[in-house]
Amino acid sequence: MEARHDLPITNLDYPKPITSPPPPISKDIELKRAIEASSKSSLFNLTRDHVLYEDEWLMAVNKPKGVYCESVLSSAPKIIVDSSSNEFHLANRLDRDTSGVMLITKSHKVAAKLVKAFTEHKVRKSYIALSIGPSPNWSKITIKSGHGRSKHGAWRVYAALDVGRVLPGGSFVRDMETTICSEVVSVNGENPEPSESQSIIVVEGEPELSCVGDDVVVVRAFPRSGRTHQIRLHCQYLGIPIRGDVKYHGMYEWRGRTFEGHELHAESLSLEHPVTGDPLVIQSPLPCWAAGDYVTV
């Protein structure tokens, strides 16, 4: 029998995602959070209290949780010292419920330089996250994996060997790398015994790490790449999903309290100034949950 080349291909060999899809409950919760954030963002205005750094070329601000980046950008001209320019751009973006350092540039030229710096991994980013799960038995772990959307449209972790393969919809699996450190971790509000354990995980299949545990674990994460929801995905893979991050199986209700967003904070950016070339380190104040008040805040 001759092959029929005019028939549609229905059984493409798509790579299989490693992490689980969002739980069914996440759809309604995420919709509720989006509506609340839209309302909050429409009323939001930056003040000088939000400003972490400013010069004639750029400004760094501390984005609050539950506010969209676009609302931060649109209100920036009202407080910028020299607002004669109309070339304001976001140099980096944060998820709706992620707080912390955001860079706003004041010209197209500076924006282009910073985009290049981020793309070439010349900007060092530090995040802090509060997770619920088993206490880590490692001090530093680097995860190398693939990243992409599954056939259901959700971001998922893929095997490192799948990088470059085609996904449903025509996109590709891209590389994703995060280093997560636990030498500054707090577990249930206490510092754990120091560990010398350092490891590199190249994701090949289902995670072998235990997901059983109800400890409060605060970690610092240093993403090398800048993929969408990267830290949230890698924390899910490690079995320590971020508290409140219902999309990636984080605790939505925990110890009698409901959490209205995930607890992830962009703590610092370290980079070479795009104009002067001087080293620039921008840090934002830690939210209360990262400063030790884990349960009641």
What percentage of the chain carries pLDDT values higher than 70? 85
Within a domain: residue 289? no
DSSP code, position 14: P
Which residues, at least 6 apart from 89, have a Cβ–Cβ distance to it below 8 Å?
73, 104, 105, 108, 111
Q: Are residues 134 and 246 in the same domain?
A: yes
Structural domain includes residue 19 = no
- In angstroms, the CA 58 to CA 110 distance is 8
- Which among 95, 97, 162, 245 is annotated as catalytic? 95
Average pLDDT over every residue of 73-82: 85
Give the residue from 146, 138, 207 showing the smallest Cα distance to 177.
146
Strand-strand pairing, 264-272 and 215-223? unpaired
Residue 295 forms part of a structural domain: no
Same domain? For 115 and 129 the reply is no
Q: Are residues 237 and 148 in the same domain?
A: yes
The pTM for the full model equals 0.88
Q: Are residues 115 and 130 in the same domain?
A: no
In a domain, 213, yes or no: yes
Name which of 42-56, 163-177, 185-199, 242-256 the model is least confident about: 185-199
Closest by alpha carbon to 261, among 281, 240, 275, 247? Answer: 247
158 and 246 belong to one structural domain:
yes
Q: Which residue has the tokens 């240093």?
A: 222
Is the same domain home to 74 and 138?
no
Cα distances (Å, whole numbers) of residue 18 to 27, 140, 160, 248: 21, 22, 10, 13
Residues 71 and 173 in one domain: no
Q: Quick one: 154 and 213 in the same domain?
A: yes
Let me know whether 139 and 152 are in one domain. yes
Residues of the chain with pLDDT > 90, as a percent, come to: 69
**CA 118, CA 272: separation in Å to the nearest integer?**
11
| CATH code for the domain of 106 | 3.30.2350.10
Q: Are residues 149 and 65 in the same domain?
A: no
CA nearest 247: which of 237, 258, 227, 232?
A: 232
Which residue range is the domain that position 88 belongs to?
A: 37-120+273-284
d(CA 50, CA 25): 34
The answer to whether residues 146 and 169 belong to one domain is: yes
Is residue 95 annotated as part of the catalytic site, yes or no? yes
- Answer yes or no: is 267 within a domain: no
Domains: count for the chain: 2
pLDDT digit string, tens, across residues 92-145: 999 999 999 999 999 999 999 999 999 999 999 999 999 998 888 788 899 999
- Res. 10 pLDDT band, cuts 50 70 90: very low
Mean pLDDT of the chain: 87
How many other CB atoms are there within 10 angstroms of residue 218's CB atom?
21
Question: Cα separation of 144 and 141, whole Å?
Answer: 10
